[in-house]
Chain A
Amino acid sequence: MSNLEAYRARAAAWLESMVPAFGKAARKGLSEADDLALARRYQAAKFESGYAGINWPVEYGGQGLGHLEKVTFDSEEMKHGFPNAYFGISLGMPVPILMQFGEDKAFVKERVLKALRGEEIWCQLFSEPAGGSDLAGLRTKAEPDGNGWKINGQKVWTSWAQYSDYGVIVVRTDPNVPKHKGLTYFWVDMKAPGVTVRPIRLAGGDSHVNEVFFDDVKVDDDQRMSPVGGGFAVAMATLMIERYVATDSGGFGPHLDLFVELAKAILVNGKPAIADGRIRQQIARNYAMRNGLNSITARAMAMMQAGMVPGPEGSLNKLVSVRSRQKLSELAIDLRGSDGFAFDDHASQKEDWTSSWINAPTGRIAGGADEMLLNTIAEKILGLPQDHRPDKGVPFNQIPA
């Protein structure tokens, strides 16, 4: 057994031992407040057992292991439905970027340890009403104020802002230069006066994203994490941190086995749906698609293990898997016919086709809309030209609104 496989076996056994306390059954029926409290205890247990900050430096409380161990652990963890979502953004991007760009090492270390133990949560304040896909088009501004800065504006789609203690934020500090060049990156205290968080309800009923309003929120200059005007580069670095994360070729929806089970249980024209050519075709095509994505991931892991840099094809995963999941979920609902009208808004989107269907559009937009992923593939991988962009090189305050 390779070292990595031994690591996987140890992690799997540890995760299995956590199921009674933190698994799906333990979470069933909990209010979100109770679930969050359970999640904090789970995160603390991970920290105590050496499964938090797996690939982070030991000096910051991490384990000092590699990316492979991290992805290996995450893939195993994903199988169980533990309450880890509250920390996904926090530990995925803002805290690593704080380790990389934070100036005050003692402060950084304290924050990192609290985040690793689940005591503090960080959010990422990037998207705005007028700038989602067009991140550099953001309008929230920071103006000099005494020795520091004063922030005014609005962010949106901020995951878990309602539970966050801190956040990283990109703001406009100079509207007189082209849009990418007038941005600066800060960390902010989410409990500071002038910060207002308002949850947004999504189509499926859940409210983990928020609007965040900034009214004359004061920040010190030592909260600045980029040169003035150099914020876009740090924002890009933030988004690139976890280029190869644990993926799910099922698009974070149900496993294909669940579709097969359904097709065996349901009759079409008096025969099991599993015998129907149209259903068999969908099973076959979805399998082939998922298998391809799994192989891309496996190859990337093998390349990293061999000290090589994985290819860009890993960026296909979310694009391909989520839109396929959307259509397969529709078909699953269709298959159930008059038995398919029921809906439980607490059902898991990994186990329930209706929940998977209703939440799929969010998956096709969050973390980069399909259109932006396709642009990245076309422009960054294939070298095709960008669309015409009239705002190119134009000072931000002269872009027609």
Chain B
Amino acid sequence: MSILYDEGQQAIATESRRVLEARVSKDELLPLLEMTGRYHEGFWNTAKEQGWTALALPEQYGGLALGLVELGLIAHQAGRTLSGAPFLTSGFGCAKAIELYGSDEQKARWLPGLASGEIVGAVAFASGSDPLPAYPAIRFADGRISGRAAGVTGGLVADIAVVYAMGALGPLLVVAELSDVERSAIGSFDNSRCYAHLGFTDIPAQPLAIDGAAREAALHILALQAVITAHEQTGGAEAMMEIARDYALTRRAFGQVIGAFQSVKHRIAELYGLVELARANCIHAASREGAPDFIVAAASARLSATEAYDTAARDGIQIHGGIGVTWEAGLHLHMRRARSLAIEQGNGLFWEDILVDCLTGEAA
């Protein structure tokens, strides 16, 4: 697939940016930081109304049959404006698992709702600090799962989840409805992500049919999500860089704009370098879906996007001085999001190891 965006793709970027800038504002996002279990409904309604939930799913099930490139472009814009809910990425991961590994019956049951956004999907692979454990903590037996999934993104709201569970013959992926699951809300530094610990007690769950190892399948889903998240991180980093640039052009000290001082100017120019490396890695990764080197491309995108967003959050605030650390200025929304996105879909240590495993064939 080409790494040059075509006209249709450029239109997706322009239109999604326009609509998100009109509908999601800092003033609406700040109060959400102090409310557990709430998300920006305008954002999520927009995602459904614009068909973003359907974007990368098959036409047969109500999807638009586009792919990572297009969803990545949306995620980039969502990152710029600080998306108000995590369900686009969590639902995408959930739907892709069902699309790639589910039976026709399972697809028919879940994919139309996920495509329309009526069903909110989540992915629960992690076990504590381990994004993809060798031995999942959740057990599967007799069509039911039991155990605890820690820190599930969107877990407070999701209707269904794809869960990485331990069966009699080894790990497998199952899909479970969450209506009878015990959800404990996590009071978080980024509350609109709707994090929850999910407690499963004999919850009915259907295994997804996987040819080959479940871990590889789960890793593939994580990598698909990681590419989307990397776009979102890159969008956030780009926004932070621009906010810092704009401030450096207007704030004056010692008789001139602070952007005239090399210590400030160079800090912002360094951010440009990080953002462009992340963007290039994202574009490359989105174009490699289905290729043998997809995991390598996804890991590269993920690592460079995390570095870009973390650094942009740190340095963008620093350039603002005192005003940068106030609640009202809201730059901490990006700082918080940089950290939450750095953990979702596996932290930097995880993706470093995956990348080097793939490159060298030597496991960490």
* A-to-B contact residues, CB < 8 Å: 127, 130-134, 137, 156-157, 200-205, 266-270, 273, 276, 278, 326, 330, 333-344, 354, 357-358, 361-362, 364-366, 369-371, 374-375, 387-392, 394, 399-401
Q: Are A362 and B325 in contact (CB under 8 A)?
A: yes
The 3 A-B pairs with the shortest beta carbon distances in the complex, nearest first, are A391-B255, A338-B151, A203-B332
B322–A201 touching, CB < 8 Å: no
| Chain A residues whose C-beta falls within 8 Å of the C-beta of B190 in the assembled complex | 341
Alpha-carbon separation in the docked complex, A268 to B324 (Å): 34
When the two chains form their complex, are residues A341 and B318 in contact, meaning their CB atoms are under 8 A apart? no
**B353 with A330: CB separation less than 8 A:** no
In the complex, identify which listed stretch (B61-69, B158-166, B256-264) lies at the interface while the others stay far away: B256-264
Nearest-CB residue, chain B, relative to A358: B189
Known: A201-B327, A202-B327, A341-B343. A334 touches B255 (CB 8 A): no
Chain A residues closer than 8 Å to B343, beta-carbon distance: 333-334, 337-338, 340-341
Nearest residue (CB) in B for A334 is: B347
From known contacts A337-B343, A338-B151, A340-B343, infer whether A361 and B317 are also in contact, taking CB-CB under 8 Å.
yes
Would you list which residues of chain B between 323 and 357 have a CB under 8 Å from chain A?
A: 324-328, 331-332, 335-336, 339-340, 342-343, 346-349, 352-353
Instruction: Choose the segment among B11-19, B105-113, B129-137 that binds chain A (4+ C-beta atoms closer than 8 Å).
Output: B129-137
Task: For B213, list chain A residues within 8 Å (CB).
Answer: none
- Tell me if B321 counts as interface (CB < 8 A to partner A): yes
The count of A-to-B residue pairs whose CB atoms sit within 8 angstroms is: 156
Q: Which of B254, B339, B353 contacts A333 (CB under 8 A)?
A: B339
* 25 contacting pairs across A/B (C-beta < 8 A): A131-B253, A133-B321, A202-B326, A203-B335, A266-B129, A269-B353, A330-B339, A334-B343, A335-B347, A337-B128, A337-B131, A338-B150, A339-B150, A340-B151, A341-B340, A343-B188, A354-B189, A357-B339, A358-B332, A361-B318, A362-B325, A365-B318, A365-B324, A389-B256, A399-B255
- CA–CA, A266 and B150, complex, Å: 14
B250-282 Cβ-contact flags toward A at 8 Å (1 or 0): 001111100011111000000000000000000
Give the number of chain B interface residues (Cβ < 8 Å).
55
- Indicate if B310 sits at the interface (CB-CB under 8 A): yes
List B residues at the A interface (Cβ < 8 Å): 126-131, 133-134, 150-152, 186-190, 193, 195, 252-256, 260-264, 310, 314, 317-318, 321-322, 324-328, 331-332, 335-336, 339-340, 342-343, 346-349, 352-353, 363-364
Q: Which of B253, B346, B352 has the most CB of A within 10 A?
A: B253
| A341-B189, A365-B318, A369-B321 known; A200+B326 contact, CB < 8 A | yes
Q: Which DSSP category, helix, strand, loop or mixed, fits chain B's interface?
A: mixed
CA distance A336 to B131 in the complex (A): 10
Q: Given known contacts A338-B128, A341-B343, A362-B325, is B349 in contact with A278 (CB within 8 Å)?
A: yes
Q: Which residue in A343, A370, A374 is a CB contact (below 8 Å) of B189?
A: A343
Query: How close is B361's CB to chain A, nearest CB, in angstroms?
Result: 16
Contact A336–B325 (Cβ < 8 Å): no
In the bound assembly, the distance between CA atoms of A330 and B311 in angstroms comes to 11
Known: A334-B349, A338-B151, A374-B263. A137 touches B253 (CB 8 A): yes
Tell me, in angstroms, the Cα distance from A343 to B33 when the chains sit together.
11
A364 partner residues in chain B, CB cutoff 8 A: 318
| Most A Cβ at <10 Å: residue of B186, B347, B353 | B347
- Residues in A with CB closer than 8 Å to B364 are 269
Q: Which residue in chain A gives the minimum CB-CB distance to B317?
A: A361
Q: Give A271's nearest chain B residue, CB to CB.
A: B364
**In the complex, are the beta carbons of B314 and A134 less than 8 A apart?**
no
- Which of A127, A341, A371, A389 has its CB near the most chain B CB atoms (within 10 A)? A341
A337 in contact with B318 (CB, 8 Å): no
Known: A267-B128, A361-B324. 6 other contacts (CB 8 A): A201-B326, A361-B317, A362-B325, A369-B321, A375-B263, A390-B255
Q: Which residues of the partner chain B approach A270 to less than 8 Å between Cβ atoms?
A: 130, 133-134
Interchain CB contact under 8 A, A132 and B321: yes
Enumerate chain A residues within 8 angstroms of B326, measured Cβ to Cβ: 200-203
